[in-house]
Structure 1
């Protein structure tokens, strides 16, 4: 089969050009204000809620419009314009096979902008992704390719800059010798936590995660008191890095754990695959993030975690603490500039005590329970007999199991039950009982269907990182007459979406305007969507919680801004779904900046002074539409 001649010429010219440039050993140029001191707002590997931060965020002094320079010779291989994420972004392919990325741009260079504008008008869309022909937009190192901005998901003016390898994996730009960034500050440790993992594990005699404050001695940190523990435990670290001249809390790229002077576990966040970014929610303790808003590093590899930047000597970084043994733990935090700080702690293995003179730190009924991963914890406040070892009766289908207290917190008995041994329907102690609201066990790599009251939940094979114990409930809230479909626990991370088919019991819904929303304790509503099929509505989501149906029949609002041809658009509930504009019946492009709630006309070349009838249509996610007309 013969190759197309044009393709052959392109391929050969690319090969020759690549070979020639590869021989120059050209260094990477800092893309903002090169040769001068610069400052960063974010670094590689910073922990965000749903992803690791890729690349670096370069400050632009709170301004937009700074020249953005090509970091190396190459050509533009990809252009993206979006109202979210990276906003306006350029991708440049270099002869060494790497790709540099420039994001949140205000505008492209003139020749690129003209090319993009033509494609937007041809396709009648503002948001667009383009792949120019090789060398259609070729640049030399140091050429201005764009102006910095604040587009997309950016929360302030800056340039997001990445270097990716041939597989589009993100590399750490700070390893490319940029003298514009100065860093003489070692990473900072804030807190450390120790978590029991198995039913027989203890930290300070309890089956509870324990948080510790750290004493600081320059670049060294310590827990001064010896920690007592037993069994399988995991260590979690809260910390950040700083660079000279900036207050921003940045990511820590390298953490090493040494146990009794032997390297035991490490993580080096220098290369990342976008396909695994979501696994950050098992890199940090998700339950602590949800409940307390703190993002620790797990210094162990949790179940389902597919990230490949860990090295563990044994047990995926978990420690097995034996009674009467001592463990000296050193945690070293490194940044890319060679600054190192150290956290030290000592752990003493101690067989669990039965009686603990501590108060519980939450309100307690006479009998109550908590679920922590696969462990059911039951608390009873009073002993009904003199026998301090009063058994707890655990009802599982038609059988009854009994367990003794694992330990006592003053007058509170604490019982532990491994849910792998069975899911109780109720537990009973001293003639006081409580129902256990676990509907099902869902297991990774197995599809699980739960038939709940008035709705069905389906967890596909790919949805889970670890085994979870699901509680479901249906209720009509009296305070606002909403039907609420609950899927718990909210403190468990999911790899991908679960699916729900709900059968609402109310008959008054205006179906074309009624959709599913996730609600929280503060009464806020977040649009989820869903589609009706007869009397049921189907939806999917990636986080568990409370879901309800809300009718949105209020159209969006459009109002002119003070600047000519600029308009504010907003919606009170479901959110803006789409917008389109025309002049004298012909499509005209509007640029949209969601964080400003602002749209404005982006004129095509030669039309800046055109006049006539202008129409702007805005729809929300519930299908409500507002039309604004005026004369230009």
Structure 2
């Protein structure tokens, strides 16, 4: 079966020149991109989407988020192709979906078809490309899956795209892996300089300009990307490996196939702390303690003896086979018994003095010879720690730390008589110095909780009792990340009696908003065959399931996409249009659009 699958050819689902804007295996936030994105020139509803092979449509789905309007085609050898973010389906699909929406009286519907209901041949029109679902620009999302729904790299089944651009490296960092590891005498990451020394249509070569002294176990981390064809978008890699002077592979990662469950391993593959501080993605070329990461092989841990000089090569390859090589040299030195970070990654959160205790994120040695560990705070006994002053000068600032929580243990932190933070044994990946700073906003209370530099492996939970003022149903949980001015409703929260149970997927500021603000409806103009409206709501957010749109021919099923906060109304529906929007706590707005 596998041989048959690999030999089964497909055709491109768009006519004309192909431009990739997203590749298979790219890391996007906390998940992988399981398909490829194809440019449609910012057009909605005018670019036909074609069947990539013979088969039959076995599934149609319409939703307010995700792929929006999506078609699944099953092919004779078992392969499945997926076409997402469509503007609208071909007439047969539209008829099936509209009949289902009428029967269920809702926009979100799903239908499974038998092989004889909608047979297709390669090149048949399935629908038209659009911007539906969780999408922020018109494009076609295309996937190839195995018979068991496992994502496969679509580029292995499609005609090749002319590609004469090898991958490019943007950043290379040496990472200390233990408290005694050192790089140039310091226990912190060090970025290496490098330059390009040659370039051809199929290969690019770099060489490092630095030869750092390293002691103890260290690893390498990188930022790299690729471009395909004539596109300008930066795409992901197909393969990367680390090799020594003899050509022995020390580490490799490959993204030929994926699994939807693999997203949970990304915390061990990415340098989360570096990304949070510098806002630049950095991936490891080594394996740290933790679960086996499915797409990785080898450990990649480098441990040089004092005086030893070794050369290593990083080899990156794109899906067209173009290769890029980066050569670097390291010089071994003795590890230090304890390393004092010269400049912490984030000087405002790497330490804190609370109630006479010195808390730290990374181990270091004090001027008095005491070792401070993340799990062992140091009593200061009245001593003044001038070496802890932030780089900008001035006294240490309070960080509102409540407690130090090690990973692997359940913990319940009472923030106030009405608010409790619950962490499970699998919630934390690293020691958490839990901050909890309360504020009274004009619309209700809020807490800044956690530490943005410590990743959450599994959601925590806030249990927040509704304040006694006003109607309990008007209070709704909202969230904003650290440094962001924008508040968003917390999806997945539920009210049990008088207590909100709020999932905490990211650290930041959480609040209970007394929502008396109705949604705001605004006409934006035309977008392909649609009239486009924005529906914004400050507070609990627009409820897509209670939207009402009425035209001259009767009620419509509102095509509203939550991530975009946009409503698409077919121009064929005519005018006038009466739109009624309600948020999740019942505030309502009705607008009449005549012209």
1:577 equivalent to 2:577? Answer no
Where does residue 473 of structure 2 map in the other structure? 512
Deviates more, 1:201-210 or 1:556-565: 556-565
| 2:340–2:365 contact (8 Å) kept in structure 1 | no
Q: 1:324 to 1:627 in 2, by over 3 A?
A: same
TM-score, length-normalised on structure 2?
A: 0.84
Aligned-CA RMSD value: 3.6
Structure 2 residue aligned with 1:600: 569
Q: Distance in 2 between matches of 1:364 and 1:118?
A: 60
| 1:358–1:486 CA distance, 2 compared to 1 (3 A) | closer
Counterpart CA distance in 2 for 1:260 and 1:369 is 44
Instruction: State how far apart, in whole Å, the 1-side matches of 2:126 and 2:174 are.
Output: 49
Q: How far apart are residue 137 of structure 1 and its match?
A: 1.0
1:399-439 superposed Cα distances (whole Å, 9 cap, x missing partner):
xxxx3xxxxxxxxxxxxx343xx442744584549899462
1:552 matched to 2:515? The reply is yes
- Separation in 2, partners of 1:326, 1:288: 27
Label 1:363 to 1:277 Cα distance change in 2 as closer, same or farther (>3 A): closer
Give 1:223's match in structure 2, choosing from 185, 208, 217: 208
Does 1:29 find its partner at 2:5? no
State the TM-score, normalized to the length of structure 1. 0.79
**Alpha-carbon distance between aligned partners in 2 of 1:304 and 1:275, rounded to the nearest angstrom:** 16
- Structure 1 unaligned segments of length 5 or more: list them: 1-17, 381-388, 393-402, 404-416
User: Does 1:625 pair with 2:588?
Assistant: yes
Q: Does 1:460 pair with 2:445?
A: no
| Structure 2 CA distance for partners of 1:532 and 1:274, relative to 1, 3 Å | closer
Tell me the SS of whatever aligns to 1:44: coil
**Are the counterparts in 2 of residues 590 and 602 from structure 1 also a CA contact under 8 Å?**
no
Kindly state the Cα deviation for residue 617 of structure 1 after the two structures are TM-superposed. 2.6
Cα deviations by residue, 1:239-295 (Å, 9 ceiling, x for unpaired): 100113111100011001012331100000111011222433432111222222211
> Once the two structures are superposed, what CA deviation does each residue of 1:585-624 show, in whole Å capped at 9, x if it has no partner?
9753222255373342587xxxx68x9x975331123431
**TM alignment of 1:8-23, pairs within 5 A:** none
Distance 1:486 1:427, change over 3 A: farther
Cα distance in 2 for residues equivalent to 1:358 and 1:207? 5
Q: CA deviation at 1:482?
A: 6.1
5+ residue gaps, structure 2, are: 199-203, 354-358, 387-395
8 A contact 1:267–1:311 mirrored in 2: yes
1:68 aligns with 2:31: no
Contact 1:442/1:448 (CA < 8 Å) preserved in 2?
A: no
2:201 is matched with none
Q: Residue 447 of structure 1 corresponds to which residue in structure 2?
A: 410
Over 3 Å counting, the alpha-carbon distance change for 1:223 and 1:487 in structure 2 is same
Q: By how many angstroms is 1:627 displaced?
A: 3.2
Q: 2:19 aligns with which of 36, 39, 44?
A: 39
The offset of 1:378, in angstroms, is: 5.5
Which residue pairs with 2:389 in the alignment?
A: none
CA–CA separation in structure 2 for the residues paired with 1:481 and 1:598: 28
**Aligned residue for 2:377?**
424
Write the distance in 1 (CA, Å) between the matches of 2:331 and 2:288: 24
* Cα gap change, 1:37 to 1:600, in 2 (>3 Å): closer
Question: How much has 1:224 moved relative to structure 2?
Answer: 1.5
* Contact map agreement 1:199 1:375 (CA 8 A) in 2: no
Match of 2:28 among 22, 31, 48: 48
Counterpart residue number, 1:249: 234
**Is the contact between residue 569 and residue 599 of structure 1 (CA under 8 Å) also seen in structure 2?**
no
Out of 514, 536, 557, which is 1:589 matched to?
A: 557
Quick check: 2:405–2:434 contact (8 Å CA) kept in 1?
no
Equivalence map 1:45-194=2 (5 Å): 45-64=25-44, 65-179=46-160, 181-194=161-174
Candidates 244, 251, 254, aligned match of 1:259: 244
Residue aligning to 2:392: none
Secondary structure of the 2:97 match is: helix
Instruction: Give the distance between the partners of 1:121 and 1:552, measured in 2 at CA.
Output: 32
> What's 1:294 paired with?
280
CA distance in 1 between counterparts of 2:505 and 2:5 reads 48
Counterpart of 1:490?
A: 452
1:56–1:599 Cα change, 3 Å: closer
Larger RCO, structure (CA 8 Å, separation 6 or more): 2
Alpha-carbon shift at residue 23 of structure 1 (Å): 11
SS, match of residue 217 in structure 2:
strand
SS at match of 2:303: strand
Between 1:266-275 and 1:196-205, the stretch displaced more is: 196-205
Cα distance change, pair 135–443 in 1 and its aligned pair in 2 (3 A): farther
Q: Distance in 1 between matches of 2:84 and 2:290?
A: 31
